[in-house]
Amino acid sequence: MNYDTLVDLIVKEVYKKLQETNNVNENKKTAVVFGGSDSTRYERVLGNEYDVVNYENNLEKCDVIIIEKLCLKGLGNLAALTGVSKSEAFIIKMLMEGKKVYVLEDGLEYRKYKSTSPKALYNRYIDFEKELIKYGIDIISSPCAISSNSVSNVISPNNVVTIKEEVEVENNSTFEIRNKKLITESDLRKPYMNGMKAVIIDKKSIITPLANDFVRIHHLKVKRV
């Protein structure tokens, strides 16, 4: 093989690799992080599926929003759909476009004041959080819950610490989800909004992390039969 032929083969191989890289990047979705954190924290978990970037004012669209920290004012504004700041308006717009929005549970500022806040005021912020859930926003305990490839997306029934064996609630507050192998958050949200306080599921049903977070946050009782 002469020198020119070798160079030509190398150039073609490099070009092929560049094309493959470009195709992968084009297929990746964009995840935008709010809260001022270094986006590399999320790249380790989501990097194979998303291009992870921090929010900037000139950003016009994305596929997923991750809200790392949500202050008292921000929670109230989003619940009321006022969108006072440009970032809040962006979040509301993405919700309207059907994009997925996640809020990290430990980033909800109001929860820090549970022991000091007047009960009525604290309950008001609980209502704000419920409004976000009604809008389709998911409250999650870890970014791992976002990744479709993460093993932690599906957990064993034995790991669901919020499950209780007895359901001591009125019959009209109990909802049954039977013959379903995988219980998701969406399976629970609508019944909860209609007054569900307890759910009965099959013994072998698997609860996703988002559904487990929903159970824990809203103090639902789960019984396996």
Q: What is the DSSP string of the chain?
A: --HHHHHHHHHHHHHHHHHHHHHHHHH-EEEEEESS--THHHHHHHTTTEEEEE--TT----SEEEES-B-HHHHHHHHHT---SHHHHHHHHHHHTT-EEEEEGGGBGGGGGTTTS-HHHHHHHHHHHHHHHHTTPEEES-GGGT-TT-GGGS--GGG-TT--S---S-GGGEEEE-S-SEE-HHHHHHHHHTT--EEEE-TT-EE-HHHHHHHHHTT-EEEE-
Could you give the residue range(s) of every CATH 3.40.50 domain in the chain? 3-148
| CATH code of the domain occupying 3-148 | 3.40.50
Predicted confidence pLDDT, tens digits, the chain (225 residues):
566 666 667 766 766 666 555 444 556 789 899 986 666 778 877 878 888 888 888 888 999 999 999 999 999 999 999 877 899 999 999 999 999 999 988 899 999 998 999 999 999 999 999 899 889 898 888 887 787 544 343 333 443 333 333 344 445 578 888 888 888 888 888 888 888 888 889 888 888 888 888 888 888 888 888
Q: State pTM to two decimals.
A: 0.59
